[in-house]
Amino acid sequence: MKKTENLFNGSQSRRQFVKNSAYTAGGGLLLGSLPIGSTAYAAGNDTLKVALIGCGGRGSGAANQALIADEGVTIVAMADAFRDRLDDCYSTLQNRWADSGRLDVPEERKFVGFDAYKDAIAEADVVILTTPPAFRPKHFEAAIEAGKHVFMEKPVATDAPGIRSVLETGRVAKEKNLNVVVGLQRRYQDVYLEMVKRIRDNNLGKLISGQVYWNDGGVWVKERQPDQNEMQYQMRNWYYFTWICGDHIVEQHIHNIDVANWFIDAYPVSAQGMGGREVRTGKDHGQIFDHHFVEFTYPDGQVIASQCRHQPNTFRRVDEFFQFADGEVHAGAGIMTDWAGNEIYVHNSMNDPNPYQVEHDVLFAAIRNGNRVDDTEVGAKATLSAIMGRMATYSGQVVTWDQAMNSDKILVPDDLDWDANPPVMPDENGNYPVAVPGEYEI
């Protein structure tokens, strides 16, 4: 069967498309035009001052993408908990942008510490939030309260109180006509957009079930240094502490769970599953699980089987598959077939733009054009879906959406200090508390 032409191929580039139309990016909609005088910046005439908060690898990438997205962007402030990470990020950006005049971060606009975000936000029109996810609700609230447009990475919280905070801040952002993009880049990726369009056009009938995966060998480990106190160690090795990271079902597998939500066009009503630590059992891996398996049930009865695993030398897959009444979809590959195996559509991704870049293209185009893009609800509810899965695997119980949303379990303290103990401490042998199904309270 002849392949259908990509929606965005032809004479109009993706970037031009998003600048000239009300582009729908999965759930992050350009919600119409706003008053030009109060919200828009003339393209090429006004500088958009950007503050980067969180200077790790993702922060460096997001800052670079912001600079590429709009020639009027200038990075004017940077903030991080650690000075060395800020310096490394600055050097990375300087290697590319030093001669452009668009990296304008003198020493007095380099801010370090838990409260550094406040000073950085004050300097900017647009704020990039790329710290570990525990800090996202507070940073997002501060940015919107100050009237700034926001790009923030996923996930947007690690606990339900954080989710409720983000949703409330999103309501304030709407009132203030501020733009918010969340780093769920599949919603800005041509292959997924094409699949969703065809699903909505009812090419295969009702979606019945699916399988979503983030199975790989795991990520980095930061060794404890002799001069570190416990807070410093956990902040450096943040991925392995639930209060900072959310566990890898939240930090990484959120992408695939979000695709299921998006394709079904609903959020799960319940979750049940199992998980634990079989390979990553050492003190250096903190307290998170190394595998989770969750069944998410949706309002119309669809069941999504969700797998995420961090175990070396095991089956690797990061992808999504869905079964419909009249066929199936391999989402990441962009393949749609009927039940006889005949191709209905095969996506050609060869010339597709980088979705990480498109996120920023859409954000800055909305700011320039006086439109509004808002991913807050999608980002918050995708994060809550993953948190609900974590609650199910940690507890061994069936967890409902309402239970997850209304949970009062606070993982992140209001006030953090380098000399304070973090909310999770090791025992006398250096081991951290790990959730035990049947004992963990949701």
Structure tokens at 6: 């990509």
Alpha carbons 149 and 369: distance in angstroms, whole number: 14
pLDDT score, position 442: 85
Report residue 142 as tokens.
Answer: 């501060």
How does 28-56 read in b/e, with b if 16+ C-beta sit within 10 Å?
bbbbeebeeeebbbeeeeeebbbbbbbbb
Domain(s) labelled CATH 3.30.360.10 in the chain stretch across 193-351+383-406
**CATH fold for the domain made of 14-186+355-374:** Rossmann fold (3.40.50)
CA–CA gap between residue 81 and residue 92 (Å, rounded): 18
Q: What is the pLDDT at residue 30?
A: 55
pTM: 0.92
User: Residue type for 395, please?
Assistant: S
Collapsing DSSP to helix, strand or coil, 274 comes out as: strand
Helix (H) or strand (E) holding 404: helix 401-406
| Bridge partners, 103 (sequence order) | 75
Per-residue confidence (pLDDT) for residue 38, from 0 to 100: 40
> What is the spatial distance between Cα 279 and Cα 84, in angstroms, rounded to a whole number?
31
């079989």: which residue's tokens?
278
Q: What are phi and psi of 424, to 5 degrees?
A: -120, 130
Can you give the pLDDT at residue 31? 57
- Domain topology for 193-351+383-406: Dihydrodipicolinate Reductase; domain 2 (3.30.360)
How many angstroms separate the CA atoms of 275 and 290, rounded? 8
- Residue 4 CB: number of other CB atoms within 10 A? 14
* Numbered ranges of CATH 3.40.50.720 in the chain: 14-186+355-374
Beta partners for residue 181, in sequence order: 151
Token pair recorded at residue 275: 């998980």
The whole-number pLDDT of residue 26 equals: 55
Q: Which of 396, 389, 393 is nearest to 270 (CA)?
A: 389
Per-residue pLDDT of the chain (442 residues; tens, 9 = 90+): 333 333 333 333 444 444 343 344 455 555 554 443 344 565 555 999 999 999 999 999 999 999 999 999 999 999 999 999 999 999 999 999 999 999 999 999 999 999 999 999 999 999 999 999 999 999 999 999 999 999 999 999 999 999 999 999 999 999 999 999 999 999 999 999 999 999 999 999 999 999 999 999 999 999 999 999 999 999 999 999 999 999 999 999 999 999 999 999 999 999 999 999 999 999 999 999 999 999 999 999 999 999 999 999 999 999 999 999 999 999 999 999 999 999 999 999 999 999 999 999 999 999 999 999 999 999 999 999 999 999 999 999 999 999 999 999 999 999 899 999 999 999 999 999 999 999 999 8
- Give strand ranges (E) for 253-407: 270-276, 291-297, 303-310, 317-324, 327-330, 335-338, 343-346, 373-374, 399-400
| Distances in whole angstroms, Cα of residue 414 to Cα of each of 313, 423, 426 | 40, 11, 21
